[in-house]
Structure 1
Amino acid sequence: MSKPTIAVIIGSTRQARFGDKPARWFMEKVSDHADLAFELVDLRDFNLPIFDEVASNAYAPSASPEAQRWQEVVKGFDGYVFVLPEYNHSLPGALKNALDHDYTGWNRKPMGAVAYGSMGGARSLEHLRGIAVELQMVPLRNAVHIGGGDFFTVWSGGQDKPMSEIEDHLEVSLNAMLDELVWWTKATKAAREA
């Protein structure tokens, strides 16, 4: 039996984004995970228009072919980990737009995060968790937060050191999130299939 698959979604499309670095680190840490398979999903690979559909795809099919392609990708996963920056105390507009372009694909699946910024992306993640509840996802309690001195150590605008410089600070939260993600992925997948 194949492992449940988790999308690791890079939540920023900016050319100068930092998200690639923690995304690569996370993918290395989970490359041989015993219970889950992980696949990197980059919002840059989707040319999503600003949401302008007549309704959510819960009520009417989306007209945009790019939105339809995005919805097919979203529904193919059993859960999500968002690599999440904090822009002006919230999540990036590109991510909010991507979330709005689907409803049904997100339903009844867990979501975690690797959040970053001066405050560890905490405010951005709190906003994402509220949106996730409305999209009928299961937001995990635990997350990886890269903030403060750790963020400025690895951020390209700071010391730009490798993630290995701070990973010992992140291991406990990473393991707690992954344990929780395994449990909720198995539980929600079993319930969806029942």
Structure 2
Amino acid sequence: MTRVGIIIGSTRPGRNGDTVARWVHDLATKHGGAEYEIVDLADYGLSHLDEAVPAAVGEYAHPHTKRWAAAVGACDAYIFVTPEYNHSMPGALKTAFDFVYAEWHHKAAGFVGYGADGGIRAIEQIRQVMAHLKVADVGPQVSLSLFTDFVNFTEFQPDPRHEASMKTMLDEVLSWAGALRSVRTGSAAQPVA
């Protein structure tokens, strides 16, 4: 069964990410086709990159890094739930990307952004990181506005129209996760010389 990690990309006190992630999880579970798990960056203690050896080497020294590597590696795909801070992704999410390397490879990813403009700039920056980490990110995304999908910027009440966008994004993520399975397991056909 395909495993999809719904990663909460913010660790900020009072964040909206946990509420949005639960909504994503509920819709994804109804959608089916995979096992879905919420992965909260706040549970991993990745405050600053404190590994002496570059992540590409794969020699992790600290317990929090090993736990994070196991969580990332256990997934076949990801849905990143991210706010937009100052036209960018949260620092905690960028740090989480940087802590491990090969565990991200040949997976699929989709995005749910939220913010004044729906988190679109944060998602665009994450897409650049995904390319380097060999993650196939899908085009369809869900963009939630603090003005129209939250009451007083905090109480999450998404417009029902986002459910169709979520379905389209999930269909793509699951399709790509399945297509990349042979690459992840090393059984992909080798190119003919």
Same fold flag (TM > 0.5): yes
2:127 matched to which residue of 1?
Answer: 129
Deviation at 1:34, TM superposition (A): 3.1
Paired position in structure 1 for 2:103: 105
> Once the 2 structures are TM-superposed, how far is the Cα of residue 57 of structure 1 from its aligned partner?
2.6
Paired residues of 2:48 and 2:95 also in contact (CA < 8 A): yes
Equivalent in the alignment of 1:64:
62
Q: Deviations over 1:139-164 (max 9, x none)?
A: 111111102632344731xxx2533x
Tell me the amino acid that sits aligned with residue 14 of structure 1. R
SS at match of 1:112: strand
Cα distance 1:171–1:110, how it changes in 2: closer, same or farther (>3 A)? same
Q: Distance in 2 between matches of 1:73 and 1:31?
A: 19
Matched with 1:162 is 157
| 1:88 correspondence with 2:86 | yes
Per the alignment, residue 167 of structure 2 pairs with 175
> For 2:74 and 2:152, how far apart are their aligned partners in 1?
32
**In 2, are the aligned partners of 1:84 and 1:91 still within 8 Å (CA)?**
yes
SS in 1 for 2:113: strand
Paired with 2:84 and 2:53, the residues of 1 have a C-alpha distance of 28
Read off the aligned partner of 2:64 and give its amino acid letter: E
Higher deviation after alignment, 106-115 or 183-192: 183-192
**Aligned-residue CA RMSD in angstroms?**
1.6
Q: Is 1:189 the equivalent of 2:181?
A: yes
Runs of 4+ with deviation above 6 angstroms: none
Task: Compare 39-48 and 184-193 and name the one that shifted more.
Answer: 184-193
TM-score, scaled to structure 1: 0.89
Question: Among the aligned pairs, what percent are the same residue?
Answer: 37
2:131 equivalent to 1:139: no
Structure 1 residues 61 and 176, CA gap change in structure 2 (3 angstroms)? same
| Structure 1 gaps, min length 5 | none
5+ residue gaps, structure 2, are 188-193
User: Which structure has more strand as a fraction of its residues?
Assistant: 2
Q: Secondary structure at the match of 2:46?
A: coil
Question: How many equivalent residue pairs?
Answer: 186
Contact kept in structure 2, 1:8 and 1:41, CA below 8 Å: yes
Tell me, yes or no, if the aligned pair for 2:146 and 2:153 is still in contact at 8 Å: no
TM-score normalized by the length of structure 2: 0.90
